[in-house]
Amino acid sequence: MFEPNTKVVILTGAGISAESGIKTFRASDGVWENHRIEDVATPLAWMKNPKMVWEFYQGRRKQLLEVDFNVAHRALVELEKYLEDHFLLITQNVDDLHSRAGSERLIHMHGELRKLRCEKCENIVIAMEKSHLTDKFVSCEKCSSNRLRPHIVWFHEMPFKMNEIYDAVERCEVFMAIGTSGHVYPAAGLLAIAKDVGAHCIGINLEPPENVDLFDEFHQGLAGELVPELISKWIKK
């Protein structure tokens, strides 16, 4: 059972969204939705073939209109309401399902599909209207650029808000990883940091992740089944 003042940090990965119908990314085989990672998820790929990268991410962005959050996303909202400012949710996922479920204390460390960013002036916009989801590049309304890029952290780029993330993990009392494979860094390294500062570390995943030995407790199974059940017990008064 969590006390309302327990400092809790949650890290979520592809596994929690897979149950909503979003395909997971597996770095081990280097393929994402029939594309090589090198061809669609690096700055060099954007430089060499922006049209292919753009069309790939437009497909991922359109998919957001076809899926919805699940009970695991919603259970984390209930935990946030219980813990309030003592709660932080960090997600590796670029979908918007946490936000749609109601999460507010949320960091998208790898960016967000629903947003585009100007390469020149760094202006960030939410761009999910029908006119934004075609194969044509979207222009920046603040400067002369005729091409916004996906607001996504590609391989070889630094994830967002890492200082804020490290600060929260170093101060947390409970660290929970849900649906993460444990091999995408620096996210995978957060568990070791939490362990070093004495946090109680909990893992939930369909399969044991690479860093499973660092967890104080590991629950194997579907996030949609395990997360609501565990959170219900933790916040029961």
* Catalytic residue from among 98, 110, 183, 219: 110
- Does the active-site annotation cover 151? no
DSSP codes, 113-142: EEEEEETTT--EEE--SGGGSSSSPPPPSS
DSSP letter (8 states) at residue 19: T
Cβ neighbours of residue 65 closer than 8 Å, sequence gap 6 or more: 128
CA-CA-CA-CA dihedral for 197, 14, 102, 133, to nearest 10: 140
Beta strands at 87-91 and 8-12: parallel, antiparallel or unpaired: parallel
Rounded distance between C-alpha atoms, residue 55 and residue 30, angstroms: 19
Residues serving a catalytic function are 110
